[in-house]
Amino acid sequence: MSEMRDLKATTMPLLDSVVERLCHPSSLDAVWHRPAQGAAMPSLKDLTEIMERLRAAIFPGYFGSARVWRESMRYHLSANLDTIYRMLCEQIVRGFCFGCAGDSNPCTSCESDGEKAAGAFMDRLPEIRRLLAGDAKAAYEGDPAATSPGETIFCYPSMQAMLHHRIAHELYELNVPVIPRIISEMSHSATGIDLHPGATIGEEFFIDHGTGVVIGETCVIGRNCRLYQGVTLGALSFPKNADGTLTKGIPRHPILCDGVTVYAGATILGRVTIGKGAVIGGNVWITQDVPEGARILQERPRA
């Protein structure tokens, strides 16, 4: 039990007044969101559990039970996937309801959209694992301090970020509202790597150290790229609509071709293309295309 002070009778009117003001529509309406048809809101707690279960399904032995054997893996995997599917299906439906307009009979379509999306996502799990195995290989090969691919699975922020991203990106591609972003932010919080679920990332991707990396919604990254901490792949400016609001969804972030390396603190802004195998030096600021194989280093004032 948490430790508490007793409440004095004189404090009651104060609390009553606070409740009154917090329940007043003038206060409540500004933060109140009611999903279509009174559906429940997505649950951070359940999404957290889903991510833990997915991690254990994708990397058995590393996460979840530390005592997993090949012999009975099928047993636990079956049970775990059944639970994942049913929990995720519930959250995806809530996601659709959260976003839907709420006219006529939205929930029927949210339900069927949600179930379809959950099924399609499950079907992609083996592919997600294949991609993540490639990312672990890239991490091991890219970091002289790494002693085995297994070590990178256990504790590299890059692997945690990519686990979340490859899952969130599938859901993003399936047009699931809100949920992909919630998943991305879980990993942003844990790793300091801010990977928008919309970004398209090729095989064998590695981010070293990672803190402060930002990769925007419409980025396209090829195979075998490597980033270091503090790299920004961002937008240069935000086009506005006639009414002054931001235009949402247009391509505005960089394209990195295969084999690009971007060193720490570099900033690449706008829909520019960084050519195959190019190397962008630390702290460099890029707003134009870079040709294949180029090595861009900042001429910097020396101390």
Give residues 43-82 in contact with its own copies (rule: CB under 8 A). Answer: 43-46, 49, 57-63, 65-67, 69-82
210/259 with CB nearer its own copies: 210
DSSP track, 9-59: GGGHHHHHHHHHHHHSHHHHTTT----GGGPPPP-HHHHHHHHHHHHHHHS
Residue 203 CB, nearest distance to its own copies (Å)? 12
Residue 216 contacts residue 233 (beta carbons within 8 Å): yes
Residues 119-158, interacting with its own copies (CB under 8 A): 119, 122-123, 125-126, 129-130, 132-133, 136, 141-145, 147-148, 150-151, 153-157
According to CB under 8 A, which residues from 262 to 281 bind its own copies? 264-265, 267, 269, 280-281
Helices of type H across 124-148: 125-142
Query: Residue 194 forms beta bridges with which residues?
Result: 214
Q: In what order do the strands lie in the sheet with 200-201?
A: 200-201, 220-221, 255-256, 273-274
Question: For its own copies, which residue of 117, 226, 252, 257 counts as binding (CB under 8 A)?
Answer: 252
Binding-residue total with its own copies (CB under 8 A): 148
Of residues 177-196, those binding its own copies (CB under 8 A): 177-178, 181-182, 184-185, 188-192, 194, 196
| Nearest distance in Å: CB 271, its own copies | 13
Residue 284 binding its own copies, by CB under 8 A: yes
Which of 120/258 has CB closer to its own copies?
120
| Residue 19 contacts its own copies per CB under 8 A | yes
Decide: 252 and 234 in contact? Cβ < 8 Å. no
Question: CA angle, corner 77, sides to 76 and 79, nearest 5?
Answer: 65
Residue 254 in contact with its own copies, rule: CB under 8 A:
no
Structure-token pair, residue 46: 């359940």
Q: In whole angstroms, give the CA distance from residue 290 to residue 272.
A: 8
Q: Is 242 in the site for its own copies (CB under 8 A)?
A: no
- Minimum CB distance to its own copies, residue 144 (Å): 4
Decide: is 116 part of the binding site for its own copies (CB under 8 A). Answer: no
Pairwise CA distance, residues 70 & 267, whole Å: 45
Of residues 200-229, those binding its own copies (CB under 8 A): 209-212, 214, 216-217, 229
Q: Which of 303, 237, 289, 296 is nearest to 261 (CA)?
A: 296
Comparison of 108 and 300: residue with beta carbon closer to its own copies: 300
